[in-house]
Structure 1
């Protein structure tokens, strides 16, 4: 005798079949169909699929339903005795029956009538009724689990699942392009392929899918879209479920009531939600209809790549692209670069790898790290992040207040976040430009985001018709324009006291911003990359690099700070800034200081710029050059 159960049914509905009078699995199939004639009406015996399992029955698990399992398929020709020889009194469920229903238009109705719910459709989206070829509204979302370079992220996925089983409700709020949709796919894949969760019904649901069934999945008709996609009413059954809800920013009151009950521990439904911020007509707010405690909340910091994950992902991606065979130095340098430029932001990591691969495919046989660096600091790559990367800011759509807030964060590196109804703050957080760190400070979500903001905000003025012949001439032309244009701006700029001197000095970031704004237009189309410290993964912080064929490297200092240290960093023997010294044709450390500070000694590669008290005159001194005074 063996206990059997129809897949998707509750354990309490298991039934015994006498195996003593049957010799093959084929005979057993016929006996099962005879026993459950109503359940298998209209289905041929040979269409039943039997799976050998071993599920313990207890008083406590009788209400549990079996939707997924990791059984061994039994074939009609096999002998029953080969598989089942245990004592007759065993009550463990040993056979799961998977019926194949006729492909008719009332299939959903038939499923629901027989089982009380729609069983998981293998190969369909998230265990719903949707086939992958029905998906049209968000074809750029998510990942392909079969790609060789896809990372399954087992440690992050397992930690989220373990946390979910304890807390029942988890809300992950993170900006666009941060890997939310791909993480729902990975969690689903992990759950349905783990024997540990075979008693759970796993559902992955995206509100974006409502468009694919002709139902706008908004606050008012969430239930209709759910039924169209799943085949049943929302929570039509009370069996244990594990639900991934992607893009939860638009949803329904009934759903949030379920979430509220889950927070109180009053049902066996586990829900992990991924989304940005806001809901219904309140999309500009950071709040949702139910207060989610910090205990149940997670952010981008919890789902970004860990250092180990990032290293493994980049390594596998590069090896799949056959980079290692040609230059073993590429992979460690690429890892270092991506860590600095992306801060582990999943979408940006993928973007850099993908577009580098596409650009370098024709050159893979002679590829070097320097060639990759040149590309990553070229206008071609810059256009990909400004045009094809939805996780990066689009300055044209920013309000005046939003731009000013970004400038404030840029100048001060961070800015205090105060919970309020400040629409500029909320909009920048929602769009992923700014994030709130664990100290409640606003900062750019990644260095590459700051780079994009600088380029768009300061680099789009009318360009010059000529290009300076040398790096020195370039620097002189910038301060000539700065003297004419920027005096009032520099006078107004927020200043602070410098400990070594009583006089007030301008923030270094303001000099950098003005240098970039004016320098970009002086280059007549040549690309100037900013935030090169992250780009070159150097130990120091280099400010600007001008693309081929000029190949200029520039560092901005103020008030002679750290001159000796930066001189050493450009020394090839120390291997600091090594990538730049290998490739840059000209290097300049621009030291900006008050005219009250006299230059003690001119040094190679240094350009000393002294400004007057009112910023209406500059003096430029450089080894081997005549002193130049600029004033209007």
Structure 2
């Protein structure tokens, strides 16, 4: 007949209205099974807006309880995701562990329901997780268990009169091996549906996926079964708390917030951002730990200043006990670093300093998937470039500690901080540093990382095991001291500076005389300053002389000649 009929009644009407020569007309009638007919109600009878599957977590540690009025609804992010979903029809949100993806899936589902309810339009939202898809239970079975309807009904029947949103959490469990046709957990139906949605602009189905980076060794060899344009993908920069969201979270969840005035609250939030980089899981852990300290000290609760100094120093119960730092290291988001071998730590150091050769690209991908590293965009020489960085300041500090674990320590202790600095400056491999600088882009962050790494190693090589060398305060706890060296009767602090940056700020704030720094016996500033050559750059030398005169306890290392000038007044 050359016609394709979707409705048998259309075929009958065509037969009655068409002059067909006398002949036998063969009609194939397909009758739906009883299960297919009775499995679902007629879509016309559905409410205008309906939400299937998960509505959040109640009493659990994962997900979000929508009935809790302390929730941060993240309206700006959910709106951005929904707008992109309308535009691209499919979106992938991926990030390291403990970055709030499951909660965000629920928040987006809630926002979709509210949007279509307010607009008086029809929609169906399915919020579910792919966890459980395996050889025993395929993807369709998991979907039906959680949403109480069949996947075929959700993807083909319901979209007849409304927009359907499939919000799929933990989609990484149904990734497939690269260059393989094998589909995990009977998930071929899902990936075929996704490809169909991406190709057909008229399709009434939208698919939003949330994927965690897996920590198992096979994850770098897995991938999605569909292609994603860069505009379809949201990453860690989107998942992290903004400054406004972090402030809102602290206000709603920190039980001691009433003790803080606005300047103190801002200082607290700034310090929290320094520790976590806005990482959702780490922010939650810090507030949880501080709440525990506050509530268990009912008879002698710490003041706002005391709590702030705890955060700045990484302490919880006693000065310099580092208990907050230790608590954060137990977070699942940073524990993956403990699984790296010495060879992998070598690779990670090359990556951190921007000198990673092509052979390390597979390892970079593994670190991205496990959440050790993230990709962000930075402006280098006025051009935006994709930059690989540690996922949080905490991760960078923890890496430094692990990287230094196999360094041979000195047998004799320095008698003073000036003696230690002299040893350190003389022992740095400046040729190696110069070679490293030649291999990396002129990025201030990478230059600073190289100096931090080399200086930390040199400190360890020139102090005995009885000395505890810590790299914590400046990037991690919001203060100025980058290195502390503590022994039986010594407590020294060292600040690293580059090209005069923060010199006046560090000296004038008198941070070493306050709170957590009050126990320091001595401190100094180490400045790495770039000059052309000592002989032909008299202007730079005169500036250094002025700084040395104005600022007490200043050491200066000149680059690129690497001639050392140190002054102690």
Q: TM-score higher than 0.5 here?
A: yes
Distance 1:256 1:329, change over 3 A: same
Matched, 1:385 2:304: no
Q: Which residue of 2 aligns with 1:227?
A: 144
Q: Which residue of 2 aligns with 1:302?
A: 238
Distance 1:379 1:243, change over 3 A: same
Among residues 253, 256, 259, which one is paired with 2:188 in the alignment? 253
* 8 Å Cα contact 2:556/2:565 also seen in 1: yes
Q: Which residue of 1 aligns with 2:471?
A: 530
Q: Which residue of 2 aligns with 1:358?
A: 292
Matched, 1:340 2:274: yes
Q: Which residue of 2 aligns with 1:437?
A: 376
Deviation at residue 425 of structure 1 after TM alignment: 1.3
How far apart in 1 are the matches of 2:452 and 2:216?
42
Distance 1:547 1:451, change over 3 A: same
Distance 1:596 1:190, change over 3 A: closer
Matched, 1:410 2:346: no
Q: Which residue of 2 aligns with 1:66?
A: 46
Q: Which residue of 1 aligns with 2:210?
A: 274
Q: Which residue of 2 aligns with 1:190?
A: 111
Deviation at residue 424 of structure 1 after TM alignment: 0.3
How far apart in 2 are the matches of 1:550 and 1:298?
48
Q: Which residue of 1 aligns with 2:219?
A: 283
Deviation at residue 392 of structure 1 after TM alignment: 1.8
How far apart in 2 are the matches of 1:168 and 1:545?
52
Q: Which residue of 2 aligns with 1:44?
A: none
SS in structure 2 opposite 1:271?
A: strand
Deviations 1:504-548, CA, capped at 9 Å, x for gaps: xx966444323323545847577654263333546xx75324579
Among residues 448, 454, 458, which one is paired with 2:394 in the alignment? 448
Distance 1:218 1:389, change over 3 A: farther
How far apart in 2 are the matches of 1:475 and 1:581?
22
Deviation at residue 326 of structure 1 after TM alignment: 5.4
Q: Which residue of 2 aligns with 1:428?
A: 367
SS in structure 1 opposite 2:171?
A: coil
* 8 Å Cα contact 2:281/2:333 also seen in 1: yes
Deviations 1:190-221, CA, capped at 9 Å, x for gaps: 3445623784332211122x2xxxxx447982
* 8 Å Cα contact 1:126/1:205 also seen in 2: no
* 8 Å Cα contact 1:463/1:525 also seen in 2: no
* 8 Å Cα contact 1:279/1:288 also seen in 2: no
Matched, 1:516 2:462: no
Deviation at residue 459 of structure 1 after TM alignment: 4.9
Deviations 1:345-366, CA, capped at 9 Å, x for gaps: 2222222222233234426343
Number of residue pairs matched by the alignment = 472
Distance 1:546 1:204, change over 3 A: farther
Among residues 316, 324, 334, which one is paired with 2:258 in the alignment? 324
SS in structure 2 opposite 1:151?
A: coil
* 8 Å Cα contact 1:218/1:250 also seen in 2: no
The unaligned stretches of length 5 or more in structure 1 are 1-61, 70-118, 134-138, 211-215, 499-505, 624-632
Q: Which residue of 1 aligns with 2:83?
A: 162
How far apart in 1 are the matches of 2:68 and 2:205?
32
How far apart in 1 are the matches of 2:371 and 2:406?
22
The unaligned stretches of length 5 or more in structure 2 are 1-41, 175-186, 378-384, 441-445, 536-540
How far apart in 2 are the matches of 1:172 and 1:326?
36
SS in structure 2 opposite 1:236?
A: helix
Deviation at residue 169 of structure 1 after TM alignment: 1.3
* 8 Å Cα contact 1:277/1:286 also seen in 2: no
Matched, 1:606 2:553: yes
How far apart in 2 are the matches of 1:325 and 1:600?
46
Q: Name the larger-Rg structure.
A: 1
* TM-score normalised by length of structure 2: 0.68
Deviations 1:349-391, CA, capped at 9 Å, x for gaps: 22222223323442634341223322357531222222x2122
SS in structure 1 opposite 2:525?
A: strand
Would you tell me which structure has more helix in proportion to its own residues? 2
Distance 1:411 1:590, change over 3 A: same
Distance 1:279 1:445, change over 3 A: closer
SS in structure 2 opposite 1:556?
A: strand
Deviation at residue 431 of structure 1 after TM alignment: 0.9
Among residues 465, 483, 489, which one is paired with 1:544 in the alignment? 483
Deviation at residue 262 of structure 1 after TM alignment: 1.2
Give the structure, 1 or 2, with the largest relative contact order (CA under 8 Å, sep 6 or more). 2
How far apart in 2 are the matches of 1:295 and 1:326?
41
Deviation at residue 281 of structure 1 after TM alignment: 11
Q: Which residue of 1 aligns with 2:181?
A: none
